Chain A
Amino acid sequence: MLQQKSKMNRRDFLKLMGAFAGASAVVTACAPEQIPGPDPTRVVEPPINPTGVPPEPALPPVALGIIALNRMAYGARLDDFDAFNALGATDDERLRNYVAQQLNPDSIDDSDFETRYAAAGFETLHKTQDELYFDHIASNPYNSNDDAYWEWYSKPAYELVDATFLRAVYSKKQLVEVLADFWHNHFNVYFWQDDGVPMLASYNRDVLRAHMLGNFRQMLEAVATHPSMLYYLNQNNSSDAGPNENFARELFELHTLGAENYFGVQDPNSIVKDANGIAIGYVDNDVYESARALTGWRVDDDIYEYEDGVEKTGHFLYYKPWHDRFNKLILGKYIPADQEDMKDGRDVLDLLAYHPGTARFISRKLARRFISDNPPDSIVEAAASIFMANASAPDQLKRVVETILLSPEFKQTWGAKIKRPIEAAISMMRAVNTDFTKLPGGIPWMCSMMGQAMFERRPPDGYPDVKEAWANTMSLLYRWNFAVGITENWMDDEEQQRIIRTDIVAQTPAELRTAESLADFWIPRILNRPMSDSDRQAVIAVMAQEYGTQEELPQDHIDYVLPAMVEVILMSPDFQWK
């Protein structure tokens, strides 16, 4: 069995987890109407390029549908490209319609996927947060010395992995899937986070998916009060006696302002304030003060059984005995002592969610995902303005994403990114119409061999979103091996009756009998565009083997070689760009 089996106690989880940490501050000030300009006190450093790394050569431009389907979706399935082109008479019109459709997922008929999802027979994913906690943690029916206990304990999280692959391959709500992946990486929670593994299914659904087209401030509080995050970044045992800074630090550095707004270890009074008196960036003291403000934000669990008022429901719990009641100074704002319950922490979330630095940081990350590893400042500023102007809107994030997707920068960029491993794997299955319902464990295992095990990024920063992280020998080799494994039908898990099938020959018109005609059918079928002549010749050569390129091939040769030819197209550089 390829999939990792869980058999571990609390200490083992700690070991596996190796999580990181952080805290924050106050103020209910409304968002400024206008986003302030770039901070004049920060020096923009010229890149140090002591070894003369060459700039990346530009790629030939491609049709807008190809850009859209590779960035807003996990690549094209059969007919997706034609369907995009049918959405309008001009590129702009098609893109507008496609974005409108994808940003309103409820309008999309996804019945084929829903049928498949029902057939997959997930046992735990329908459960509410409370049910997950009760059934799989508090009242797990098995003995914790037995494998069955740990299988039942981790089942919701494993089912989440399976369901996420299923959705990404088959759902027509592709942008939803891309965004869910983006936000899980942004607010990363490691699969094996301490104590609350089953809750990952709730976190992904009730926090990330529920808010990712909604309001960032609301999303932030949902994150900060969910057991998955509280456990993962040790907020669950942060008390006034010695605050744990893990969550507070990452709240600043990874979730909101970002390292680009971190001024390091400095006197907080030395930081420039904006017109509202709020510091334009943060220093370590803001992290410490915010950790204090968030003390008492924890899970209602039984870690400390002797306590009054703790009932083991798995809910968020504001535990007043742990809260540091004294005054704090955060990002230049004074937070008085003895505020009402949760007000200190909410003030921190307000300060961060409405900060222009957060608007830029979130916008830059979204633009990095959707446009380029190094997105131009123009689109970052445009999206950040929308973020700020809609700070209280219920569809704030939807508007920000829409701004990015309809931007000239989106339309004019191609090949400034390569697919990350999971994207590559999913897009291969989409391109060759792979059929599965219950996911074999080999699929996520292959992604881990490429360096991107789903939901298993251990540090809280999420998987890298730049090509330098993925253009290396091991990762690329297993990307290629994935093409082979999928196309040759080597990925079944027969013991678990999890079967995955790709039938290349059946998808090929029977009248195509020559190496050239087979290559010329499959290249545009997969890429929706031609290859360069030399790449095409390379593909044809694989198909022809010892035959001539225009010679009629015997059926047994086609049966044997055609999958290998398709694999080469999936392995090609052209298939990796986005």
Chain B
Amino acid sequence: MPTQKFTRRNFLQGCSAAIAELAGARLTNVAFRQDNSSADTLVVVFLRGGWDALNVVPPMAGDDRGYYELARPNIKISNLLPLNDQFGLHPALAPLHGLYQQGKMAVVHAVGLNYDTRSHFDAMEYIELGTPGQKSTTSGWITRHLQTQGVSSILPALSTSGAPSSLLNFVPTVNLNDPSEFSQWDNGLAASQQTALRQMYNGETLLHRAGIRTLDSLGIVSPLVEGEYQPSNGASYNDDELSQQLKTVARMIKLETGLRVATVDYGGWDTHEYENDGDGGYIAELLGNLASGLSNFYLDLDSGYTNKLSVVVISEFGRRLVQNESYGTDHGHGNVMFALGGGVNGGQVYGAWPGLHNDQLYDHADLAITTDYRQVLSEMLAHRLGNADVASVFPGYVPTGEMGIFRE
């Protein structure tokens, strides 16, 4: 185990000291992870805007390479990093190629939300609620996963950017982007103010519950995050938005507060123009940040944590096969997902490939979907997150077969 400023025992003591300051504290929903919990920590990286699957993992050979090049004369990607004899990774993903070769990362192609929409907002909502076609669902898929598990840890869910629908109505979620900013401004009377707030936020509305959660989180996070964070194994996080969020997640995982799920958002993938205008283009920058962020995150946690880590990378849809005149691509359908972690059967590309001939395309325009995104998540739930109750997490969905992306 890594050397940490706070061991778990120290943490318990520090935490109770911090909490003791909060007179009248109600700690009913705060308890520690059970020692026998063997589930992975899940990290969901959601790439907002619809990443261009066909330029992330393009076909490398055969007829499909021909269709691809014909459709994308100005934005096609060459110099691919081979995944197998059929597909390669965009060269900006070189750091992830290393993880793939080491068997720590798997690629699922022609996967996605099998529902007829090309709307960002509908597609994101369906995916995150876990109920394609139903936007009125009152909880996210991760919410239902955690609730069916009966999670009782002190900090079960973390979101580093906003309030994702996948965690809709999961009250214990802690939302913070930078732990060092997560403290109450104090003129010397903050403890007394917190006592008053705890009394005033004692209620049943969403707002009341969020207030209590904020107070609890202050007691948990603030005492733990003093000083600069030192990543392990020489990992070095860039300044981009994604890397900084992943750094926060790594830091929180290492605090061993029983973090079960973290959600991370990274936007800007809606590449309607200048996707690849000769010198790598806009998408290369995004992919470079993604690869750097994820590989450093993995390196940082390869200090005793990756055997209990499952990362999935997902986006709301892929993009049109044919480029538009702005050297970009418009909204499409089939997509690609990544899975990383010690329990991933990596080094493989999963999923039946539908082909890129016009007759093989969805709506004669986009990569078709042969694997429902819930298939990937269901396998992960069953094998890595200790949750066989897929029917509760994805109501109405029945997984088909088993792709074998994750080890037991």
Contact = CB atoms under 8 A, between A and B. Distances in A.
B268 A15 contact: yes
Given A264-B117, A476-B211, A485-B185, A48 B131 contact: yes
Contact of B162 (A451, A561, A572): A451
Interface string B205-236: 11111110110011000000000000000000
Contact of A471 (B189, B206, B218, B330): B206
Question: Most chain-A Cβ atoms within 10 A of its Cβ — which of B139, B162, B326?
Answer: B326
B325 A56 contact: no
Nearest to A239: B325
Interface in B170-191: 173-177, 181-182, 184-189
Given A45-B136, A51-B144, A459 B196 contact: no
Given A53-B169, A469-B163, A474 B175 contact: yes
B184 A481 contact: yes
B273 A234 contact: yes
A97 interface: no
Interface stretch (B119-127, B351-359, B371-379): B119-127
A15 B270 CA distance: 10
Contact of B136 (A17, A47, A470): A47
Given A18-B49, A243-B325, A473-B213, A484 B175 contact: no
Given A253-B119, A473-B176, A481 B185 contact: yes
Contact of B269 (A18, A47, A234, A484): A18
A480 to B, nearest CB: 7
A246 interface: yes
A234 B196 contact: no
Interface string B93-106: 00000000000000
Contacts of B269: 18
B2 interface: no
A277 interface: no
B173 A242 contact: no
B119 A246 contact: no
Given A21-B272, A459-B270, 18 more contacts: A18-B269, A50-B137, A50-B395, A244-B324, A249-B119, A284-B118, A449-B181, A459-B48, A467-B207, A468-B168, A472-B159, A472-B173, A472-B175, A473-B217, A484-B186, A542-B195, A564-B187, A573-B208
Nearest to A284: B118
12 contacts: A15-B285, A21-B330, A48-B395, A51-B138, A51-B143, A56-B206, A244-B273, A265-B118, A284-B363, A467-B207, A477-B184, A568-B197
A475 interface: yes
B49 A459 contact: yes
Contact of A242 (B137, B201, B326): B326
A244 B330 contact: yes
Contact of A19 (B143, B173, B197, B272): B272
A5 interface: no
B41 interface: no
Given A47-B136, A253-B121, A576-B207, A238 B325 contact: yes
A234 B115 CA distance: 26
Contacts of B134: 45, 48
Contacts of B187: 484, 488, 563-564
A537 B168 CA distance: 33
Interface in B321-374: 322-326, 328, 330-331, 333, 362-363
A413 B326 CA distance: 48
B189 A561 contact: yes
Interface residues of A, number: 85
Contacts of B203: 57, 573
A333 to B, nearest CB: 22
Contact of A51 (B139, B193, B363): B139
A19 B197 CA distance: 39
A534 interface: yes
Question: Most chain-B Cβ atoms within 10 A of its Cβ — which of A262, A471, A534, A564?
Answer: A471
Contact of A542 (B189, B206, B285, B363): B189
Given A48-B138, A469-B163, A472-B210, A264 B267 contact: no
Contacts of A451: 162
Contacts of A477: 182, 184, 214, 217-218
Contacts of A434: none
Contacts of B267: 18, 458-459
Interface residues of B, number: 81
B78 interface: no
B268 A17 contact: yes
B282 A266 contact: no
Nearest to B209: A471
Contacts of A49: 137-139
Contacts of A470: 163
B307 interface: no
B326 A538 contact: no
B199 A48 contact: no
B272 A53 contact: no
Nearest to A467: B206
A262 B122 contact: yes
A434 B5 CA distance: 43
B403 interface: no
Nearest to A254: B121
A564 B189 contact: yes
Contact of A568 (B174, B196, B211): B196
Nearest to B176: A474
A253 B138 CA distance: 22
Nearest to B289: A15
Interface string A473-503: 1111100110011001010000000000000
Contact of A238 (B139, B326, B363): B326
B120 to A, nearest CB: 6
B116 interface: yes
B178 to A, nearest CB: 9
A245 B163 contact: no
Contacts of A51: 138-139, 143-144, 147, 169
A561 B190 CA distance: 11
Given A51-B147, A51-B169, A266 B116 contact: yes
A46 interface: yes
Interface string B245-277: 000000000000000000000011110111000
B138 A19 contact: no
A245 B189 contact: no
Interface in A210-266: 233-234, 237-239, 241-246, 249, 253, 259, 262, 264-266
A131 interface: no
A241 B325 contact: yes
Contact of A474 (B49, B177, B185, B186): B177
Nearest to A265: B116
A490 B185 contact: yes
Contacts of A45: 134, 136
Contact of B192 (A461, A564, A571): A564
B204 interface: yes
A473 B221 CA distance: 11
Question: Most chain-B Cβ atoms within 10 A of its Cβ — which of A451, A541, A573?
Answer: A573
A482 B162 CA distance: 18
B136 to A, nearest CB: 4
A344 interface: no
B31 interface: no
B146 to A, nearest CB: 10
B163 A237 contact: no
A20 interface: yes
A249 B181 CA distance: 38
Interface string A534-551: 110111011001000000
Contacts of A473: 173-176, 182, 210, 213-214, 217
Contacts of A476: 210-211, 214
Contacts of A42: none
B392 interface: yes
A572 B213 CA distance: 14
A7 to B, nearest CB: 14
Contact of A244 (B137, B196, B197, B328): B328
